[in-house]
Structure 1
Amino acid sequence: MEEAVKVRDAATVMLVREGAQGLEVLLMRRASGHAFMADRWVFPGGRVDARDADAALEGALSQPFEAAEGLADDEDAARAILIAALREVFEETGMMLATLADAADDDASLAAIFGAEPERWQRWRRKLDTGSASMVAFLNALEEVAGQPVRLNAAGLHYYARWITPDFESRRYDTRFFVARAPAGQTVQVDARELVESRWIGPTEAIEAYRKGAILLAPPTLCVLEDLRRFEAPGDLARLFADIEKASIDPVLPQLLDKAPEGDEAVLVLPGDAAYREERVDVEAARCPPGRTLQERSGVTRVVRRDGQWWTERR
């Protein structure tokens, strides 16, 4: 009997800002030689590592710490997911979501610290990325320069969505999507290893670029961008965060339709689609909380591959 692929916890962060035309989100292109999603434009993020569950990081998050409902089975697992999200943002973008105990403006204070010694903090970024230094050591170094306690800004992460890689994939992730305001004064610096290009872009513009073949997107990224289109008008950023506070986050576990309609290469059905079969949901692997339904919030119920490209549909 074939052994099931282990589902690994992961976190990704949609950094957003108010652009000239409205909401912009940060997309980054993965290196062409990468084993997973090569050349795809993605949000910063990655899998949760053992180091994210280090007991020494228990007090590293901004207080008070409250695990979001449905984020994980227990507080320790939820904390590790949040730490992974914040760590990955720094490793992949060079931007830090953190709070300083006595600072009137956290973003301005951190921007000044990083701007004064950019090479020093880039070295720390590489050390974190390679695992040669711990987050505890990094925060201690940052506190020494700041002259005050520094905490990772968990409150700045807003739980937005949860996607689980289908069971037919060779790599499976239980990915929590967060939305966070981009820290003012800090600029994006791609790591040039895993990610090689970045772009601030509106959701509709990103989808249109994908349709034209200018960028490559994976189905979850495409679906989330579809949902963000509801909030991309000028001044809608506040409405986005207000909507998040009211939303119930249910896991999305796509299923491959057994037989695609003529003309379609493949069809991924999502919760809410008439063809979605609840009895096939791998609840144990997905670690879905008992009694919770699987529901995709944006209204998209299937993603169809046609002529080499994924298209979203609502049925």
Structure 2
Amino acid sequence: MVGPVVELPEQFDVPEGAFPAEPPDPPATPRDAATVMLLRDTSAGPEVFMLRRVTGMAFAGGMSVFPGGGVDNRDADSALEWTGNPPAWWAEVFDCARGLASALVCAAVRETFEESGVLLAGPDADSVVRDPRPYAAARTALVNRELSLAEFLADAGLVLRADLLRPWANWVTPESEPRRYDTRFLVATLPDGQHADGATTEAESAGWFRPDDAIEDWKAGRCGLMPPTWRTLTELSRFGTVAEVLAAERRLEKVIPKVTREGRKLRLVLPGDPSYPTAAGHLDARPDDEVQS
């Protein structure tokens, strides 16, 4: 199992005013979401596909992220057919109800197709679509919410390949944020013959990056990373091949960053950091207030 990273770099210190002066009370309910780290092998090690979100978006504007997004009603279509571990297995891994687990897997595949053009589906349990470009119209319909993934796959004679996905992590936005997500991170290999294009209106650019290179770009100020993305890249950088990533043992626990004051700065802290137990969930809370997870 990959060891935890418990301390964030100083670059994640944020000035006073970066969070709302009066945090929501009660805290906003996190929206369930899924994100997928698409990986491919190169002679220099694994690369991961990333999108730079359009500046000015309500959440993570200008940040470099992995394809993903929130679960919506389309993803709860009970007609969805897939191969691989059943919803009950994913429900145990994600520690949630079976229906939500199914919707999360569906959202992961749908968002990956919408935002990168990569389709984790095939005619049967032993094959994957080699060229998703003929399904461009369906991709657009999915983006416009005119079609559910279950409807698209059924019409195309395809099944979702849940066996191509591996659970990786579970991050929840801090309670001090007005817009919150409970995001499950998954990993998958870029299927043979497919090409990630990043052709989405939500991104201004996209490309493949070695995890270490993405982190160096962030350090140099050439891109923005959120703590979950930084930590995930740090973890991925420890592997020499995609196969090693997929074989890694993971135990998903909800990671909820907290915010602590240090002078005029606010510092994000993670579970395992010595200051985490005494950090306030709300900026206006007493330091010894506990956040119930």
Q: What's the TM-score bracket when you normalise by the shorter of the two chains?
A: 0.7 to 0.9
- Are the counterparts in 1 of residues 170 and 183 from structure 2 also a CA contact under 8 Å? yes
CA distance in 1, matches of 2:139, 2:96: 30
| Equivalent in the alignment of 2:82 | 61
Q: Which has the higher helix share?
A: 1
| Equivalent in the alignment of 1:202 | 210
1:132 to 137, 146, 151: 146
CA distance in 1, matches of 2:95, 2:195: 31
CA distance in 2, matches of 1:28, 1:38: 11
Matched, 1:74 2:97: yes
- Are the counterparts in 1 of residues 83 and 163 from structure 2 also a CA contact under 8 Å? yes
- Cα pair distance change 1:225/1:64, threshold 3 Å: closer
CA RMSD of aligned residues (A): 1.9
What does 1:164-203 correspond to in 2, within 5 Å?
A: 164-203=172-211
> Residues 190-244 of structure 1, C-alpha deviation per residue, up to 9 Å, x if partnerless?
233112311111111100011111111111101111111111x3xx32222222x
- Are the counterparts in 2 of residues 165 and 254 from structure 1 also a CA contact under 8 Å? yes
Structure scoring higher RCO (CA < 8 A, sep ≥ 6) equals: 2
> Residues 28-70 of structure 1, C-alpha deviation per residue, up to 9 Å, x if partnerless?
111123211111110000011111112222xx22145132534
CA distance in 2, matches of 1:81, 1:102: 20
| Equivalent in the alignment of 1:84 | 107
- Cα pair distance change 1:64/1:215, threshold 3 Å: closer
CA distance in 2, matches of 1:154, 1:72: 17
CA distance in 1, matches of 2:178, 2:247: 37
| Equivalent in the alignment of 1:14 | 37
- Are the counterparts in 1 of residues 189 and 242 from structure 2 also a CA contact under 8 Å? no
CA distance in 2, matches of 1:68, 1:156: 17
CA distance in 2, matches of 1:82, 1:48: 9
What SS class does the counterpart of residue 67 from structure 1 fall into? Answer: helix
| Equivalent in the alignment of 2:243 | 238
| Equivalent in the alignment of 2:57 | 34
The aligned amino acid for 2:196 is V
Matched, 1:255 2:265: no
1:50 to 73, 76, 101: 73
CA distance in 2, matches of 1:54, 1:102: 20
Shift of 1:7: 1.1
CA distance in 1, matches of 2:69, 2:122: 22
| Unaligned ranges ≥5, structure 1 | 144-149, 284-315
- Are the counterparts in 2 of residues 161 and 178 from structure 1 also a CA contact under 8 Å? yes
The aligned amino acid for 1:227 is E
What SS class does the counterpart of residue 75 from structure 2 fall into? Answer: helix
1:111 to 120, 130, 140: 130
TM-score (normalised: structure 2): 0.82
- Cα pair distance change 1:64/1:270, threshold 3 Å: closer
What SS class does the counterpart of residue 122 from structure 1 fall into? Answer: helix
Matched, 1:281 2:291: yes
- Are the counterparts in 2 of residues 253 and 281 from structure 1 also a CA contact under 8 Å? no
What SS class does the counterpart of residue 111 from structure 1 fall into? Answer: coil
Identity of aligned pairs, percent? 37
Shift of 1:22: 0.6
- Cα pair distance change 1:102/1:37, threshold 3 Å: closer
The aligned amino acid for 1:181 is T
What SS class does the counterpart of residue 36 from structure 2 fall into? Answer: strand
Shift of 1:274: 1.0
- Cα pair distance change 1:227/1:195, threshold 3 Å: same
What SS class does the counterpart of residue 55 from structure 2 fall into? Answer: coil
TM-score (normalised: structure 1): 0.77
**How many residues get paired?**
258
Matched, 1:155 2:163: yes
| Equivalent in the alignment of 1:295 | none
- Are the counterparts in 1 of residues 27 and 176 from structure 2 also a CA contact under 8 Å? no
| Equivalent in the alignment of 2:5 | none
Matched, 1:94 2:120: no
- Cα pair distance change 1:2/1:266, threshold 3 Å: closer
Shift of 1:89: 0.3
What SS class does the counterpart of residue 140 from structure 1 fall into? Answer: helix
| Unaligned ranges ≥5, structure 2 | 1-23, 279-288
CA distance in 1, matches of 2:91, 2:166: 9
CA distance in 2, matches of 1:99, 1:38: 33
